[in-house]
Amino acid sequence: MRNLFFLVLLISVCLNSCKKKTADDLIAGTQTEIRMNFSTSTIDEQDIIAKNNTEDDFDNTDNSLPKQSIDINDDYYMDVEWIEEGAKNTINNNILRKEVNQAALVTRALPSGTRYKLVVFNDNGTFNTERNYAIDSENNTATLLLDRGKKYTFIVYSVGSTTDLPNITFTNSANRTLATANVNVTNVATNYVDFMYSKTEVDPLDVAVYTLNTTLTHSFSGFRVYIDARQTGYNIARPTSSLSSNFNAASISLATGATLTRTTSVAPNIVFPTTNARELTSNYSIINTVSDNTKIYTITAMTIGNSPITNPIVVPNLRARQGTRYTLRLTLRPQDAILNANAVRIGGQVWQRLNIGANSATPENYGQSTFGGYYQYGYNQYIRTGTMAAGQKAYNGTGRTAVAYWNGNPAAIAIRDRAPRKGTADPCPAGFRIPSESEFQTLINNTNVQNRTFANNSYNTGIRLVSKRNSSVRIMFPAQGNITIGGRSTPYVYRGLINRGTAVRVSTSYASSNVRSFYVANSTSNQMVRAERNRSVYVGARPVRCIQGN
């Protein structure tokens, strides 16, 4: 017992001596204490190389191009988008969506307990020391003291794990320098080893305490898969899928954070945590490859409702830049078809084949019976029939301006247009509503103009659009013209019909406090195009075509 007492006393004296030495050194100005600051716990997710790009690095920026699509079988096809997350400026070019000039800064919290290593190199590049830390537990690591008045390079890295933290290796163990320091990581793609890195060079330290503020950047790419099957009306079972042209090991330069070598080619399975739903999102996976467009995503098995998909679904030519996250968005759509005498499906959307109020038995052929009523914005009753007979309501020279009448989504304009809801006075029948701009543009993107013809005051003119996927599926818009008005302010004066036979004009639900839009085709346009007018357009009247939706 006596020996134990003296042992404890000896340890206590030593500890107090060490603490006193540390304090004396700091007071004497010979050392600096290094502290880590991960209070914000953020990761910089912008592209590591977001500069020095030339025009040739980017593809055609024409946003009118349709999405890339893949046929699955006679019943379904799939639209494909490869979306860079956090991009400041994005373009939708087939299956590639990339940053233009520079990606935006996206930050995400590092979870508490995430392990990371700090490595210190002297001004001449030689190794000084290292420390292992964990987020929110930095005080559990021994205090780091460095000589004051000297320059240092601080390297911080992590693989985003609470348990794993790879060690440094030197190409020459007898000459440990920053230039010869590497980190070797394994199971990158199969076990989500997300290597993150930071390098900080500081001027001579001349303070008692120096706080190192660290933000980590990704050395690998990350991606997830989002499958949207809502338009099919069926749940989908968790698919079996993988990403090829990937590697499972890498050696990374500690001086630059760049990948030096990649080994062990793999095609890891993509993990979907849920199943049997109309929307499925996978966990994130790591892409450990060069920045090119050779990645291939393959679905080898998937079930839509009770129908198994037996043929592999292959999505090729996916481009991934190092340090960037992506979402592969796959939208399952039913194949284009004529559903019945009243409805046609094109591009996953179901449209009525006639304007509201028309009663033709041959909706693909021109004629007086294909002319519907003329509606002022915000009303569910027409002011004139297709032949200009008296309508269900009288013309209103003041008109309605509230967007909720035809689009019940209360969100901002852009969101409201992308996710429309049936408004309180939408004139379409049950299960249908007035289309948004985005929906009308989708119809145009998925069709070609089969023919168009115009003749003044004719009932037998208009434009036919034919499905790009099935030439037997067509939709016709007659050249009804529109009801025009006069004056410079409310109440506007009714002026009657113009452009019968010479212009197709169909309303959308898009509206703000001052403008609204419609789609038009005439003798000078090769396709139906968007048009926007000032507030007076609320008071004019146009035909309405309905799309399926609530």
pLDDT of residue 329: 95
Residues in the chain: 550
Burial 272-291 (b: 16+ CB within 10 A, else e): beeeeeeebbbebbbbbbee
Question: DSSP code of 159?
Answer: -
Q: Coil, strand, or helix at residue 335? A: coil
Structure token digits, residue 334: 């039913």
For the cut 70, the answer to whether the pLDDT of residue 424 exceeds it is yes
Region 264-270: what's the mean pLDDT? 94
Burial class, 219, CB count within 10 angstroms (exposed 0-12 / middle 13-18 / buried 19+): buried
**Confidence class for position 170, pLDDT limits 50, 70, 90:** very high
Which has the closest alpha carbon to 507: 379, 419, 402? 379
For the cut 70, the answer to whether the pLDDT of residue 6 exceeds it is no
How far is it, in rounded angstroms, from Cα 521 to Cα 216? 53
Which has the closest alpha carbon to 42: 213, 161, 200, 188? 213
Instruction: Write out the DSSP string of 49-71.
Output: S-SS--GGGS----TTSPPEEEE
For the cut 70, the answer to whether the pLDDT of residue 315 exceeds it is yes
CB of 122 closer than 8 Å to CB of 102: no
Tell me whether strands 209-213 and 31-37 are parallel, antiparallel or unpaired: parallel
Which has the closest alpha carbon to 50: 323, 236, 303? 323
> pLDDT: is 351 or 517 the higher one?
351
How far is it, in rounded angstroms, from Cα 86 to Cα 186? 28
pLDDT of residue 44: 52
How far is it, in rounded angstroms, from Cα 341 to Cα 353? 8
How far is it, in rounded angstroms, from Cα 207 to Cα 83? 46
Q: Coil, strand, or helix at residue 227? A: strand
CB of 478 closer than 8 Å to CB of 462: yes
pTM of the model: 0.74
**Confidence class for position 534, pLDDT limits 50, 70, 90:** low
